[in-house]
Structure 1
Amino acid sequence: MNINNLLRKNIKNLQPYSSARSEYSGEAMVFLDANENPFNEPYNRYPDPLQKNLKEKVAALKNVKPEQIFLGNGSDEPIDLLIRSFCEPGKENIVTIDPTYGMYKVAASVNNVEVKKVSLTEDFQLDAEQMLNAADENTKLIFLCSPNNPTGNLLGKEAVLQLVKKFNGIIVLDEAYIDFAPGKSLLPELSNHSNLVILQTFSKAWGMAGIRLGMAFAAPEIISVLNKIKYPYNLNILTQEKAMELTDNREKVEKWVKRIIAERAKMAELLKNFPFVEKIFPSDANFLLVKMHDARGIYDYLAERGIVVRDRSKIHLCDDSLRITIGTSKENEQLLKALNDLI
C-alpha cells in the first residue's frame, strides 16, 4: 500500500518545523544553537526531539526497529496525529467498534471528522464484514481496541487480520492492555502489513500513567509522517529519563503484571457471591466489567465511601455495568468489604 496516496494533500506537502537540535547529529561540547539558558544542566537543554536512546530500548523490548516507533504524549497524541494526517476535515471519516475507548471519537470530533460506529456482537467480538461494509470511499482509518475498553476482552485475531488485509486504508489497533494478555500482541504481524498501526502504552502494565508516554508501531513511512507533524519537543526530558530508568527493570513490571492477573482471577470469583451481581464478563485486561442490579446506585454508594469505580451502565451493550480496575490486595479487599455491607 502506498501510504502517500492516503495522506491529506496539505500534510503531504507540509514543510515540517526544523528544530535546532534536529539539524545536528553527533557529539557536541558547546551548545549555542537553541537560545537555551547555559545554567541548570541538564534541564536547561531541549530534549532529543526523536528520543533516539529511548527508542533503542523500546525496540529491543518489543523486537521491532527504532524506525518503526513513534513515542507520544500518551497514546492520545498518535491517535490525534493519525486522524490529522489522513482524514480531510468535513469530508472523510473513521470507523470504530462500539463500545470502545472514547478518545477515538473525541479526537475525530475535534478534527471535524465523521465517526461511524459498528456494534460488536453480543459476546463483544468483531464482525469484520460489517466493519468493511460500514467503510466507504471516504473512510481512511479503522480504530480497534484489543483488549477492548470497556469490555475487557481480546478481539479475534483472524477477524482483525481480515480487516487489515481487506481494508484499503489504515487499521489502528490499540493494545493498551495487551500486557495482561501475554503472547497475544499482533506486533509480530507489523512487518507483514504496511497499513497496520499498533498502539501500546507505558500507562498500564508499566505503572507510568503519570508520565504520559504512549507508543505507536508502524511502517517507517507512517512513523515519518507522525514525526513530521508532531510538536518538535513532544516528550520532555523527565518523561524520557523515567522511562529509560524503568525499562532497565523489566522484571519488576513482569511481577506487577502477574500479581494483577492473579488478583483479577480472585476478584472475578469473589464478586460472583454477591446477590446483586448478574454477570462478570471475561477479561484479558487489568479490569473487570461487572453487570449488576442498580449499577448506578452501587456506584454512588461506593463513591460515598471513597471508592471510585467507573459507571459504564449507559454505554452500548454495557447496560447496568460497572468497570472495576484491579488494585492492590488491600484496595480490592476494601471494595469487597464495602459491597458486603450492602447485603
Structure 2
Amino acid sequence: MPPILLVEDDFSYQRLLKKFLEKHGFEVEVAATKSDALRWVRERRFELVLLDYWLPDGNGLELLEELFTKNKHLPVVFLSNYTEVRIAVQAIKLGAKDYITKPVNPEELLQVVKEVCQIKSPEQQSSPTFYPGESQGFQETYALVEVVAPTELTVLLMGESGTGKEFFARKIHALSARQAAPFVAVDCGSLSLELAASELFGHVKGAFTGAITDRQGYLEEAQGGTLFLDEIGNLHPDVQAKMLRAIQERVIQKVGSQASIPLDIRIIAATNEALDIRGERNFRLDLYHRLSEFRIDVPPLRKRKEDILPYATYFIERSNRQFHKQVEGLAPETLALFQNYSWPGNLRELKNLVRRAVLMAKGPFLTPDLFPEGFHV
C-alpha cells in the first residue's frame, strides 16, 4: 500500500490516525514539526501527506508551499477544525487535493485517502462527473459555456475556490471539436519557479542539472486538445512572457533547445481572484487580454441557493454508494441551515460536509446534530 506521511503534533491524535491507517494496510511515517516533515520528504518518496495546520515551528500552509517546491505532484490532504474552514480553502487554492475537518472520522479519512492515493499527477486524473445545477446563476453560466465551446476562443473562468471552474472547463472541452483529444489540467499554484518553464514547455537532455532525458511539457501533451491552466495568476512574470509567445505564435521551445515546435491547442484559464495587472504581482496585461477572449464568471454557492438541495442530494447519493448507506435526504431543519449558511468553501465544502454526515448518520435523514458545531451559525 502507498506510503503516507502524517504531519500532526498532537501525539495522541497522531498515534490514533497512524494505528488506524496501518490497520488498513498503509505504511505511515509521522512528523510533529515542519522540519521533521521536510526531512522525511527529502529522505523518501510518499504517495500522500496528511497535513495539520497547527505545528510548533510554523503552520501547515507554510509547509504546504515548501513541499510543493520539492514535488509539485505530491498529493496533500489538509486537516483543520471546522472553525478554520477558510484556512482549508486557502490550502486548496495552494494545491491541496482535499481537506478533512477535525475531529476526523476514521471511515471518512479512509475513503479520502483511498481516493487521493489513486492520483499520481494532473494528467492522470480521471474526468470528474459534471452535475448540472438548477439556479438561474448556473443556467446563465452554462449558457455561456454552450456558446463558446464550439469556437476556438481562449476562455477565462473567474470564480471563488470550490465553485466548479474545472467542471466548466471540462464541459467546454467536451462540447468542442477537440473533445476526442487530450484535456490536460495544470495547477499553476503548484508549479515551482525553478521548474515551471520545464513543466509547461518541456526540456531537452542536459538543459539543467537533473535533466537526464528529453521531456514533453504540458503544452505539448495537450496537442490537438485543451490545456486548462488553473490559478493562472500564480505564474511568474518570466513564465508569463513565454506563455504569451506560445499563444501568439502558436509555437513552443523546450528549455535548452532553439527548435520551434508547432502548437495546436486551446487554452482555458481560471482564477479565484481578480488578476493584478497593475499591482505588485504584476500580471501581464497583454497576456490577460489573450486569455480573456471570452470571460465567464462562475457565481459562488451563496448566490445560487437553488442549487444547494440538488447538489446536496447528489452528494448524498455518491456517499451512500461509497459508504454502503441508505440516507434518503436532508431533514427540513438541516436544509434551513444550509440555505442560511455563507458557504465560504462553496461546492467543495458542501461535498465534504455531506460526505461526513452520511458516514455518521444512523437514520434516513441528515439532521443538524450530524454537522460540526461551528456550522450552526
TM-score, length of structure 2 as denominator length: 0.24
Instruction: Give the number of the structure whose residues are more often helix, by fraction.
Output: 2
